[in-house]
Amino acid sequence: MRIGIDAMGGDHAPDAPVSGAVMAMKELPASVRLVLIGDRDQILTVLKSKGADSSQFDIVHTTEVIGMGEHPTKAYTQKPNSTISLGFNMLKEGTLDAFASSGNTGAMLVGCMFTIKTIEGVQRPCITSILPKFKGGFGIILDVGTNADCKPELLYQFAVLGSLYFKNVYKNDSPKVGLLNIGEEAEKGNLLSQAAHVLMSDSKVINFIGNVEGRDFFNEKADIIVCDGFTGNVVLKEAESIYYLIKKRGIKDDYFERFNYENYGGTPVLGVNANVIIGHGISNDIASKNMILLSKNVTEARLSEKIREAFKAPMGVPAGDTGGLR
Amino acid sequence: MRIGIDAMGGDHAPDAPVSGAVMAMKELPASVRLVLIGDRDQILTVLKSKGADSSQFDIVHTTEVIGMGEHPTKAYTQKPNSTISLGFNMLKEGTLDAFASSGNTGAMLVGCMFTIKTIEGVQRPCITSILPKFKGGFGIILDVGTNADCKPELLYQFAVLGSLYFKNVYKNDSPKVGLLNIGEEAEKGNLLSQAAHVLMSDSKVINFIGNVEGRDFFNEKADIIVCDGFTGNVVLKEAESIYYLIKKRGIKDDYFERFNYENYGGTPVLGVNANVIIGHGISNDIASKNMILLSKNVTEARLSEKIREAFKAPMGVPAGDTGGLR
């Protein structure tokens, strides 16, 4: 298995991604080869500072980088030798099994669209975030920002994509799907959630448990919470900001420590034709390590392939085929 | 000033609202008369248990109550002698200057529509919630649940209503209005927020500071955060649930204690032809007391009248008249 890593991606590159790769190597089986994409000299300097054996890694040299603030499409097309562009080209050629970056999220999504493309039948790819559950374990919420405007069918697809992710990577056979809403009753909510509720209720391929509310993110009600990318992004940033304030108040608490993004590796892009993992832009070495471990798990689970197989079956409502679920 | 209180409203009625009224009386000037609406015997029992002089209060007797789980419109029309119905009738007749309840929120809104009605020019009334700021003081967010589906013009009106509330009740001459979005740049967001951004930018009657994100609820960026009622409701319940978990973890912290709903009295219904205040359904005595004090402040500020005056001026975009703002 070959995992490509954007060595120049994120606020703390190349230190964080390269150090993270060194840390990850200690936990990965010998069958995994990490491919560091970026400035060779800078990569070697970090590897040396960490006392790592550079022969353990492949390095693909380039000096072109897409900055965090650059316009995604423009930068991607104008920088064909950027770390992100090279990563996607290698994914497409099949010389990588996964590609991970904490760099410009927009450019990562553009890379998906321009090279590996969306899986047939998937309307729009989406991204997820972790919800640490109060009683242990965690859930996910999706979409968290890729799709600000959604139609009911799209929310339904998020439910299917999230279920396939949870089932295959987190080994939960029948994850509970909740629809984010502002009341428990089916008829509550805005036009979008009301229509999505009907689609989800009629579906045989997801384990739909009904509406959940803003108070249910951290309880056991649902494993997967589905919402439009606007609401999901607000929810995620609110949780991050409260965690930040908890730290700022000097509060140390085991549960709230699980809000720390470092513990998780980011999110796969769900619904594209290869394993692509996006890390948090502020990723440090630990977060980068976890991004790489997540990449390995996603690849091992053949997630992208599993989603492709599931979507070959009619994903209409109600879908007759179980699409690998339940 | 006569403030009507639904003595039977909320999960802990009549104890909480009546005890709250006794506590409020100790802080209110002699010019304020509290009118307790509900079962006379039950009210007298609570007053006696608190050692209060019942002659300090007016009591309007009725045994009919709209339950928390009842269908708002049905219950309101079928129970003309309910505490909520009586309160609105008295408001309409002018025998009350304000009416406050922690009872069925939906029935309270139906009462507004059926009796005092929406102020001319206001498309839809809305409700707010408090955001405790990390550096002290607080902001508000609106709408938080009355309007799940919004048009851009409605968000703009929320901005105006929120500004009038903040200016007149919280004595802030030029409160900063932020539009909740998923990026700082004007062109970010969903179709709704993009269009609302244009309306707010063009307005001369609000102090629009641009987009704010889910990470900005508790910082100084904006005094008023505007969003649709779906997103606002989710944001509010997420904050409440994290506060609940903080307590459950046994964490004691001065800042997070300010997340306790008890400290605030609820919200006025903004945009209707009288002063109506809605408390939290779970209100205890302290929360009830604060609901009554808020009712007094809102009435003293002549908020409903101020909003009516402001909306007499054209509130179109850009509005030439300052509508009492800035």
Distance CA B21, CA B11 (A): 16
**Looking at chain A from residue 203 to 262, which residues have their Cβ under 8 Å from any Cβ of chain B?**
213-219, 227-231, 233-242, 244-246, 248-249, 251, 253, 255-256
Average pLDDT estimate for B247-276: 95
Nearest CA in chain A to B191: A149
Mutate to test the interface with B, among A215, A240, A261, A282 (most CBs of B within 10 A): A215
B245 → closest Cβ in A134, A182, A213: A134
The one-letter code for the residue type at A264 is Y
Determine whether the interchain pair B148/A182 forms a contact, defined as Cβ–Cβ distance below 8 Å: yes
The answer to whether the Cβ–Cβ distance between B217 and A240 falls below 8 Å is no
Nearest Cα neighbor of B280 from B252, B307, B259, B306 is: B259
Q: Does residue A42 come out as left (phi exceeding 0), alpha (psi in the -120 to 50 range) or beta?
A: alpha
Three-state secondary structure along B106-170? Answer: HHHHHHHHHHHCECCCCCCCECEEEEECCCCCEEEEECCCCCCCCCHHHHHHHHHHHHHHHHHHC
pLDDT of residue B321: 39
Spatial distance between the Cα atoms of B49 and B62, rounded to a whole number of angstroms: 21
- Residue B218: list chain A partners with CB under 8 A: 241-242, 245
Q: State the DSSP H helix or E strand holding residue A78, giving kind and residue range, or none if neither.
A: helix A72-78
Per-residue pLDDT of chain A (326 residues; tens, 9 = 90+): 999 999 999 999 999 999 999 999 999 999 999 999 999 999 999 999 999 999 999 999 999 999 999 999 999 999 999 999 999 999 999 999 999 999 999 999 999 999 999 999 999 999 999 999 999 999 999 999 899 999 999 999 999 999 999 999 998 989 999 999 999 999 899 999 999 999 999 999 999 999 999 999 999 999 999 999 999 999 999 999 999 999 999 999 999 999 998 888 899 999 999 999 999 999 999 999 999 999 999 999 999 999 999 999 765 444 433 344 43
Of A182, A241, A246, the CB nearest to B234: A182
Average pLDDT over residues B40-57: 97
Q: What is the mean pLDDT of residues B217-224?
A: 98
* Residue A267 DSSP one-character state: E
Q: What is the pLDDT of residue A315?
A: 59
The angle formed by the CA atoms of residues B224, B205 and B196, to the nearest 5 degrees, is 65
Residues B129-147: tens digit of each pLDDT: 999 999 999 999 999 989 9
To the nearest whole angstrom, how far is the Cα of B253 from the nearest Cα of chain A?
8
Whether residue A230 and residue B231 make contact (CB cut-off 8 A), yes or no, is yes
| Whole-angstrom distance, CA of residue B100 vs CA of residue B115 | 15
* Nearest neighbour of A214 by CB, restricted to B190, B216, B236: B236
- Which residues touch A100 (CB under 8 Å, ≥6 apart)? A3, A4, A5, A6, A265, A266, A276, A277, A278, A279, A291, A292, A294, A295
Decide: helix, strand or coil at residue B20.
helix
Q: What is the side-by-side strand order in the sheet with B2-6?
A: B58-61, B33-38, B2-6, B98-101, B275-278, B267-268
> What does the pLDDT read at residue A313?
73
- Inform me whether the pLDDT recorded for B258 exceeds 90: yes
Which one of B141, B180, B231, B255 would you mutate to disrupt binding with A, by most A Cβ within 10 Å of its Cβ? B231
Any residues with CB less than 8 A from the CB of A38 and at least 6 apart, and which?
A6, A7, A8, A13, A14, A59, A60, A61, A62, A65, A83
Q: Give the model confidence (pLDDT) of B144-201 as tens digits.
A: 989 999 999 999 999 999 999 999 999 888 999 999 999 999 989 999 999 999 999 9
Cα–Cα dist B273/B117, whole Å? 6
In tens, the pLDDT along B113-133 reads 999 999 999 999 999 999 999
Cβ neighbours, 10 Å, residue B193: 26
Query: What is chain A's Cα-based Rg?
Result: 19
Q: Which of residues 37-66 of A touch B (CB under 8 A)?
A: none
Cβ partners under 8 Å of residue B201, min gap 6: B186, B208, B210
Q: Are A39 and A17 in contact (CB under 8 A)?
A: no
Average pLDDT, chain A: 94
Rounded CA-CA distance A290/A285 in Å is: 9
Give the nearest chain B residue to A245 (CA atoms): B134
pLDDT at A171: 86
Tell whether B182 is within 8 A of chain A (Cβ). Answer: yes
Which structure tokens are listed for A278?
């996006």
Chains A–B, number of C-beta pairs less than 8 Å apart: 117
> How far does the CA of residue A230 sit from the closest CA of chain B (Å)?
6
pTM of the model: 0.93
- Residue B314: the pLDDT is 63
Give me the pLDDT at residue B315, please. 58
- Judging by DSSP bridges, how do beta strands A207-212 and B207-212 pair with one another? unpaired
Residues 131-170 of A with CB under 8 A from B: 134, 145, 148-149
Residue A83, φ and ψ in degrees, nearest 5: -55, -40
- Does the beta-carbon distance from A182 to B253 stay under 8 Å? no
CB contact under 8 A, B134 and A236: no
